Copies of this chain bind each other. A is one copy, B any other.
Amino acid sequence: MSNFTTRLKAKIEEKKSFVCVGLDPRLNRIPEQIKEEIVAEYGKTKEAVGKIFLEFNQGIIDAVADYAAAVKPQIAFYEQYGHQGIKAYEETIEYAKKKDLLVIGDAKRNDIGSTAKAYADGHLGEVDFWEEAEVGYGADALTVNGYLGSDGIDPFVEACNQQGKGIFVLVRTSNPSAGELQDLEADNKRIYEVMAELVNDWGEDIKDEDGFSAVGAVIGATYPEEAEELREIMGNAYFLVPGYGAQGAGAKEVVPSFKDGGYGAIVNSARGIIFAYQREPWKDRFSADEYQEAAQAAVEYMREDINTALNEAGKLPW
């Protein structure tokens, strides 16, 4: 199987889009018509929640598939509903892949040794299963947390190597208190810079034809100066950039995460797209029945917004 970054670039080129759509379903924000129909059949149960999430996600995936390169289901929103939620997570991944989208599982998993291997096998690889291994969730990439150091990351890198998958390591997050640890300075380097160098080390032996490594980084879009600096440090890493739209960053803020020749980053928006029907500027134009049309309008706008900003910066690769 080809490298994850090779497949990601091809998908970006095909869709002419650097957009990743965050599939973060919330029961109380999903249109009533979807809920009513499923509750009528399954009652107000966790099974119903799983089916509601799946149907909503399928609607979103259908609406955005031509305008986005990838989707990023945030597993927390599924996991909170137990195994019925996880079933919806599995089926969402399956559906997105069928619709020609890459899937980045947002799980921020972390552990050591055989436990990290269990996560890596499950999310990216194949799990121990009698005589033959069995594919797990089948995501194309996974977000991970590197606080435990190399032996927490190695099993994920191994899965990337064997399966043509990718990981995105939390380096600099966009939340207000991210700096409590990430900004501390040790030996003239901030902790997030140390993490960035570890990202380089971890990806050293697993690069594509353009030099992009399978070990990427999560870089919050709300700190463009830091993104620029981190782009310097991690010349070979793909950046997963959350924070566009709902978290306050616009297209300008995400430009520094891209390399000069374009590529090098993928930008995520969740609420701003999937719940566009409830949000400015779309809510006056679309009803709840039109949540798909609203999502499509929002993702199309985001695609153009980013492409325009990249073009102005001389970074649009086509």
Residues in B with CB closer than 8 Å to A127 are: 80-81
Task: Contact check, B186 vs A80: say whether CB atoms are below 8 A apart.
Answer: no
Residues 168-191 of A at the B interface (beta carbon under 8 Å): 170, 173, 175-182, 184-187, 191
Task: Contact check, B109 vs A76: say whether CB atoms are below 8 A apart.
Answer: yes
- Minimum CB–CB distance for A131 against chain B, Å: 8
Judged by a CB distance under 8 angstroms, whether A28 is at the interface is: yes
Interface residues in A, total, Cβ within 8 A: 67
Judged by a CB distance under 8 angstroms, whether A46 is at the interface is: yes
Judged by a CB distance under 8 angstroms, whether A83 is at the interface is: yes
Interface string of A121-132 (1 = CB under 8 A from B): 111000111100
- Minimum CB–CB distance for A117 against chain B, Å: 9
The answer, among B49, B176, B177, B191, for a CB contact under 8 Å with A181, is B191
Judged by a CB distance under 8 angstroms, whether A99 is at the interface is: no
Residues 119-166 of A at the B interface (beta carbon under 8 Å): 119, 121-123, 127-130, 134, 136-137, 145-152
A173 in contact with B186 given A26-B128, A122-B81 (CB within 8 Å): no
Task: Contact check, B112 vs A175: say whether CB atoms are below 8 A apart.
Answer: yes
A108–B225 Cα distance when bound, in Å, is: 30
A178–B81 Cα distance when bound, in Å, is: 32
A76–B80 Cα distance when bound, in Å, is: 15
A118 in contact with B80 given A44-B129, A182-B149 (CB within 8 Å): yes
- Minimum CB–CB distance for A209 against chain B, Å: 30
Q: Give how many copies assemble into the complex.
A: 2
A76-B115, A112-B173 known; 17 other A-B pairs, CB under 8 Å? Answer: A26-B128, A80-B123, A82-B86, A82-B122, A82-B137, A83-B86, A83-B87, A83-B89, A83-B90, A110-B110, A112-B178, A145-B145, A149-B177, A184-B187, A184-B191, A185-B187, A186-B186
Q: Which residues of A contact B (CB under 8 A)?
A: 24, 26-28, 44, 46, 49, 74, 76-77, 79-87, 89-90, 108-113, 115-116, 118-119, 121-123, 127-130, 134, 136-137, 145-152, 170, 173, 175-182, 184-187, 191, 194-195, 198
Some 18 contacts from A to B, beta carbons below 8 A apart, are A76-B109, A76-B119, A81-B136, A82-B87, A83-B87, A108-B111, A113-B175, A145-B145, A146-B181, A147-B147, A147-B170, A149-B179, A149-B180, A181-B191, A181-B194, A184-B186, A185-B186, A186-B186
